[in-house]
Amino acid sequence: NAGVTQTPKFRVLKTGQSMTLLCAQDMNHEYMYWYRQDPGMGLRLIHYSVGEGTTAKGEVPDGYNVSRLKKQNFLLGLESAAPSQTSVYFCASRWDRVHEQYFGPGTRLTVT
Amino acid sequence: KQEVTQIPAALSVPEGENLVLNCSFTDSAIYNLQWFRQDPGKGLTSLLLIQSSQREQTSGRLNASLDKSSGRSTLYIAASQPGDSATYLCAVTNAGGTSYGKLTFGQGTILTVHP
């Protein structure tokens, strides 16, 4: 039981490049989330999904897209990276609103 | 809009001390509150989850309390150890039809336990 895993762990992009972050969970959770963590700003929700095939915007969705084609996977895409997207990205999942939310180890992204 | 505040922002204590971390939230309409630990450069590890109907939860040397009506939670750490040094985050799951289990986080308390 690996819990929540994220790929890659580190990445450096040039402005304008694109990339996809992959999140996978093996707990059969319905709800999945993408957060970003920045110094002084705390953790902020980017996008979330309440089930396979569904996605919705969080607090800071601009510049990101997501997809949830399979229940266990939640992908976060950056179509044209900007330096403001330099951050640590965390994926999380939970069974429902009553149960714990579990986090992945994070992806450290630098955009130059 | 829910706001979560953690006090103090940083705390340094000698090994063996008992300590209390505080968390307050502005909207009492929550499902639950979760305490996390984050080590430098690492992800978030869940420590305790307290449902809105509960008053406290315990796990080993950790005890978390919740007073939903006053919008407060405390995390009590007994007999602190250097290995407890980390950032502690509290987060609430807001009630309401469109919350979908999203967490609202505090800014965290950076705890240092020195030998």
Q: CA of B81: how far to CAs of A34, A78, B19, B46, B78, in Å?
A: 32, 41, 11, 19, 9
Cβ distance A101 to B101 less than 8 Å, yes or no, reads yes
Choosing among B103, B104, B110, which should be mutated to test the A contact, i.e. which has the most A CBs within 10 A? B103
Q: Which of A50, A58, A105 sits opposite B43 (nearest CB)?
A: A105
In sequence order, the β-bridge partners of residue A78 are A19, A64
pLDDT band at residue B100, thresholds of 50, 70 and 90?
Answer: confident
Residues of B in contact with A109 (CB under 8 A): none
Joined tokens for residue A8:
């890659």
B48 and B75 in contact (C-beta within 8 Å)?
yes
Q: Token match 């084609």: residue?
A: A69
Residues of B in contact with A93 (CB under 8 A): none
pLDDT of residue A53: 94
pLDDT of residue B99: 66
pLDDT of residue B97: 65
Residue type at A90 in one-letter notation:
F
Tell me which chain A residue has its CA closest to the CA of residue B44: A103
Query: What is d(CA B82, CA B66) in angstroms, rounded to the nearest whole number?
Result: 26
pLDDT in tens, B53-97: 999 999 999 999 999 999 999 999 999 999 999 999 999 998 876
User: Quick one: average pLDDT of B31-45?
Assistant: 95
A23 and A76 in contact (C-beta within 8 Å)?
yes
